[in-house]
């Protein structure tokens, strides 16, 4: 079976990207990362990609004119790749609706909370963990989901919880959740590339046993 083509979108240091690269190199994910795209020129993730010989480029968030032009730039960058799967691995820009429509069912995202809690507009990065602690909830975690036209509302693929303790800070909670993000994003990519995910309305059915 030919390997699926993967594009990874990033905004920051790229630790989730690194987890994906390691899993591809180990043969866990039956796919190949063909391109890495960032919306920030100083994202360390771009260097991670280049060190692995993966084409990496930036569509600067500050330089783009509007949502429509951003979407056109993204589609232009992917035209030669024709990805089977797009992974948002800590990508902070909102994808234009036309782009999402073009790649419907082929985009997955990792979010550092248990969706539908602490997600949507304004909830990203440390703001998610700060919101969790200020609200006083006892568990948080991470979620991998398919991307739809709205923010963090697509069908959920995988979730895992962690305890929020009384002495947690946004920083300590982020450190607890990051390894879970790595685990879930790799597993979701593995399941997608193995063609074990089936969308049924809002539900994602997973064929076989998850190990």
Q: Out of 111, 129, 145, 182, pick the active-site residue.
A: 111
**Is residue 37 within 8 Å of 59, Cβ to Cβ?**
yes
Taking residue 34's Cβ as centre, other Cβ atoms within 10 Å add up to 19
Q: How far apart are CA 60 and CA 64, in angstroms?
A: 6
Sequence-distant (≥ 6) Cβ neighbours of residue 166 within 8 angstroms:
none
111 is catalytic: yes
Sign of torsion, CA 157 83 33 17? Answer: negative
Catalytic residues: 111
């Amino acid at each position: 079976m030919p390997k699926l083509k993967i594009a990874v979108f990033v905004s920051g240091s790229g630790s989730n990207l690194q987890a994906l690269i390691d899993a591809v190199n180990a043969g866990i994910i039956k796919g190949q990362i063909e391109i890495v795209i960032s919306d920030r020129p100083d994202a360390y993730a771009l260097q991670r990609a280049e060190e692995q010989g993966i084409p990496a480029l930036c569509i600067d968030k500050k330089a783009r004119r509007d949502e429509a032009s951003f979407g056109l730039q993204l589609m232009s960058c992917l035209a030669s790749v024709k990805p089977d799967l797009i992974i948002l691995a800590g990508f902070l820009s909102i994808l234009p609706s036309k782009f999402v429509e073009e790649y419907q069912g082929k985009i997955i995202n990792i979010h550092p909370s248990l969706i539908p809690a602490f997600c949507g507009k304004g909830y990203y990065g440390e703001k998610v963990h700060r919101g969790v602690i200020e609200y006083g909830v006892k568990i948080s975690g991470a979620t991998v989901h398919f991307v739809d036209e709205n923010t963090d509302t697509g069908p959920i693929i995988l979730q895992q919880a962690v305890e929020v303790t009384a002495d947690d800070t946004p920083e300590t909670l982020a450190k607890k959740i990051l390894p879970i993000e790595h685990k879930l994003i790799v597993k979701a990519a593995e399941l997608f590339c193995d063609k074990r995910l089936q969308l049924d309305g809002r539900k994602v059915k997973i064929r076989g046993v998850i190990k």
